[in-house]
Homo-oligomer: A and B are copies of this chain.
Amino acid sequence: MIIYGDAQSGNCYKIKLLASLLDIDYAWKEVDILSGGTHTAEFLARNPNGKIPLLELDDGRCLAESNAILNYLARGTPLLPTDPYEGALVLQWQFFEQYSHEPYIAVARFINKYLGMPEERRDEYHAKQVGGHRALAVMEVQLRDTPFIAGQAITIADISLYAYTHVAHEGGFDLSAYPAIVDWLGRVSSQPRHVPMG
């Protein structure tokens, strides 16, 4: 199988981290977003939405959306509970990540780190801080109660949220106000076969 991704993208890192934790073999094809690599005719034929990461199976079928890929690859492993409610709770946190967390924390990081904070996006950057802190506060409440985001054991929901939370400082977020999140980041990064981003 092939993963099309950008090594600096948190959404792509989710797949790289899961594949390492589960010791899954894959080929990585680097795609440069900033130079238009997701909008070539060849790439759009695989994903009409023009986004990475993208998984291509050996038979040529493709799957987009980082969290859908995590669910596909983790099926049947301890990282994805088989209990219906527990599995749905994993999805709850993954949809939270894509709607209430990533659009603030990842986008603030993108504006700051990749675009170099251009003047015309400074207001947007500041607006993103509010939503980002709101998401972090929700995570903090949960992680005061349970060691991992969906309960007692690590799941792919932790991988989803770890991806951009562990680099939130690159988007201007100071995590020292969130001690339960800081402890949780340590629990995720100390998993056997953990790999860093990049």
Contact = CB atoms under 8 A, between A and B. Distances in A.
Given A95-B95, A98-B98, A69 B88 contact: yes
A84 B63 CA distance: 11
Interface residues of A, number: 33
Count of chain copies: 2
A177 interface: no
Contacts of A91: 65, 67-68, 71-72, 91
Given A48-B138, A61-B85, A95 B67 contact: yes
Interface of A: 48-49, 51, 57, 61, 63-69, 71-72, 75, 84-85, 87-89, 91-92, 94-96, 98-100, 102-103, 138, 141-142
